[in-house]
Amino acid sequence: MTDGPLRIGILGAARIAELSIVGPARAGGHRLVAVAARDRGRAETFAAAHGVERVAGSYAELIADPEVEVVYNPLANGVHAPWNLVALQAGKHVLTEKPSASNAGEAAEVGEAAAKAGTVFMEGFHYLFHPVTRRLHELLDSGELGDLRHVEAVVAMPAPPDSDVRWSLPLAGGALMDLGCYSLHALRMLAPWAGGAPRLVAARGGERAGAAGVDEWLYADLEFPGGVTGTANCHMAYDTWQMSCRVVGSRGEATAVNFVQPHLDDRVVVRTAVGERTEELGRRSSYTFQLEAFAAHLRHGAPLALDAEDALTTMRLIDECYRAAGFPARPRTVLPATG
């Protein structure tokens, strides 16, 4: 382990990067060493706006930079796994946006590469590190809600434009990939209070008009070994934004109003026989908590809740949901020989 700030390289100049990595890096005193984008001009604009030290000529050049220690990958879904593999094989730590791969086969390869390289790989389920989600778990731990009986996670948003990559099957688009992965992951993280990991019972979905094989919405029913039931729903052409997680126990229930974006709404509403109360857990970005946890692991060996095995488990469940709902698994993307 080394001391000092993380030395981060960013693949692409994605819009999410300001919230997901630039702000958190600044808050933690970490270095943004380099950025690369398909359009160099875009990378130069991004670097100038966000204090990135230099612009690399390509993704491959950025990954090869000896000063880059951590590669952050917010590219389109379909090229998460291919570039994650390149970075791991180069001996870099990787923080990737979700989903970590297009399918479980790719996720398994990423896990093998991380194990071989001996570096840290983490899929960016940032919500898990925020006090909002931690509070849901604390309420179950404390016994205030009684025994867990049911959980409902809904992640929905208005439709992006038809030209958006999130509607592209070759680039591993779809509501489940972009939104439903949060719902499924949130349910998976309740295993300690539900007798073990959930299994898929049924899934149904609707195809996006004009985008064959791409799900506009998908609803999944799950069951835990202890008999706890769950629903993991997602919709990428909804009439409004909804990103809630509700846990129902034998003595009460609690709802995180926006567990995915707690920086916008940090409320947890608790209802028991005693009455109803609203707790506000703070609007500091979940991405900032995430990068702090990642850095604490790399610098001090602190435990890290997410790893390549967790990413593979989620991806297997995503593939299962697609099969059950009558959709194909997302296809593998092969990088051009030049990278």
For 204-254, the pLDDT digits (tens) are 999 999 999 999 999 999 999 999 999 999 999 999 999 999 999 999 999
CATH of domain 127-283: 3.30.360.10
**pTM of structure:** 0.97
Determine the Cα–Cα distance for residues 321 and 326; give it in Å rounded to an integer. 9
Average pLDDT, the chain: 97
* DSSP label at residue 143: T
> How do residues 240-290 score in pLDDT, each as one tens digit?
999 999 999 999 999 999 999 999 999 999 999 999 999 999 999 999 999
CATH topology of domain 7-125+289-307: Rossmann fold (3.40.50)
- Cβ contacts of 281 within 8 Å, gap of 6 or more: 130, 131, 132, 135, 262, 266, 267, 268
Alpha-carbon distances, residue 40 vs 55, 57, 60, 323, 338 (angstroms): 8, 7, 14, 39, 16
Give the gyration radius of the chain's Cα atoms.
Answer: 20
**Domain range summary for the chain, segments of one domain joined by +:** 7-125+289-307, 127-283
Neighbours of 215 (CB within 10 A): 29
Helix locations, 189-327, DSSP H: 286-300, 308-324
Determine the Cα–Cα distance for residues 214 and 163; give it in Å rounded to an integer. 13
Determine the Cα–Cα distance for residues 71 and 110; give it in Å rounded to an integer. 14
- Cβ contacts of 42 within 8 Å, gap of 6 or more: 13
Q: List residues bridging with 36 in a β-sheet.
A: 11
Determine the Cα–Cα distance for residues 81 and 106; give it in Å rounded to an integer. 6
